[in-house]
Amino acid sequence: MFFKDNIYKRIYKKIKEYDKIVIARHVGADPDALASSIALRDVIINTFPDKKVYTIGFPASRFKYIGILDKLPEKVDDALLIVTDTPDYKRIDGANPRDFAYSIKIDHHPFVEKTCDLEWIDDKASSASQMIIELIFNTKLVMTKEAAEKLYIGVVADTNRFLFYYTTPKTFGIMARLIADTNIDITGLYESLYMRSLKEKKFQSYIVDNFKVSENGLAYILVEDEALSKYDVDAATARNMVSEFNYIDEILVWAIFTVDKQNNNIRGSIRSRGPIINEVASKYNGGGHIYASGARVANSEELEKLVADLDKECFDYKAKEKQD
């Protein structure tokens, strides 16, 4: 009888076939993007010590505890590219799938466009890290304790400690097995992910104090450079703080914006606990998940438009809730 190879086997076969493998992820690295790509490299090397495996992308200093990155090798037309956590071409950090002999996408974002020869997309997965664990559990790839630690961090960060709706029984099942199999110290891992300086905690209060909150439940702030220096935080850390403001009664959608001087625009991280936000974000050079998105606007006029669109989503959501 003919059994169609499952996706795990198809990916494993390609990993086995290529001696040179490059792993990439999205720009603006976050713990899930870093953990999924770095842990996959380490597990492939652990399983096939003779292969040359590189994880590339611009480093993020505040997440350096997740692991080190490599330089893209000079010649890649004989290599396999695996892209984790990235739905579209423009967000792949430092590699073009077309330059490689073969390419694979492993991603949990809603589909945006086909970028790779083989694509495993599961937008019900909590994180790309969860998908990498699943891949390892279902193939002959051999997990290491260090990789398990990174992947645990990736899942915890992307689910915000299992708070988000895409934390499913499958997520808990996979995490339970990961902990049981590798005996990782999860409390120690939380420390690296959640330890903050007092100044940074005070900055959190600054954000709450300075959020502009609309009647419809939109909260947003454009953090000026003065505030960043006063509280000694960088722009990426400020935006990353967006996860801290869930479950505020009056707030349905919230966003933190910072000025990107280098690119002469304004970047934002947006979160929601009801209204769908990724469609609005995609109109403003952005995208992401239905309740977790990012966007880039050219100036404060465009920022106002984005804010108005998000506010409308809140209004419509509330109106619909009243009807139901």
Note the residues at the interface with ligand AMP (CB under 6 A): 26, 28, 30, 91, 109, 269, 285-289, 292-296
Strand order in the sheet with 292-297: 212-213, 218-223, 253-260, 265-272, 292-297, 287-288
Question: For residues 87 and 110, is the Cβ–Cβ distance under 8 A?
Answer: yes
Question: For residues 97 and 84, is the Cβ–Cβ distance under 8 A?
Answer: no
Interstrand relation of 218-223 and 265-272 (parallel, antiparallel or unpaired): unpaired
What is the Rg, in whole angstroms, of the alpha carbon atoms belonging to the chain? 20
Residue 40 vs 236, nearer CB to ligand AMP: 236
Residue 28 vs 274, nearer CB to ligand AMP: 28
- Residue 311 Cβ vs ligand AMP, minimum distance, rounded to whole Å: 19
Residue 27 vs 118, nearer CB to ligand AMP: 27
**Token code pair at residue 186:** 């999860």
**Token code pair at residue 275:** 């209204």
- Residue 195 Cβ vs ligand AMP, minimum distance, rounded to whole Å: 19
- Residue 302 Cβ vs ligand AMP, minimum distance, rounded to whole Å: 13
Longest Cα–Cα distance in the chain: 68
- Residue 254 Cβ vs ligand AMP, minimum distance, rounded to whole Å: 11
Residue 30 vs 149, nearer CB to ligand AMP: 30
Residue 30 vs 311, nearer CB to ligand AMP: 30
**Token code pair at residue 109:** 């974002």
- Residue 60 Cβ vs ligand AMP, minimum distance, rounded to whole Å: 11
- Residue 103 Cβ vs ligand AMP, minimum distance, rounded to whole Å: 19
> What is the sign of the dihedral through the CA atoms of 50, 51, 52 and 58?
negative
The whole-angstrom separation of Cα 229 and Cα 205 is: 15
Residue 136 vs 238, nearer CB to ligand AMP: 238
Interstrand relation of 20-24 and 52-55 (parallel, antiparallel or unpaired): parallel
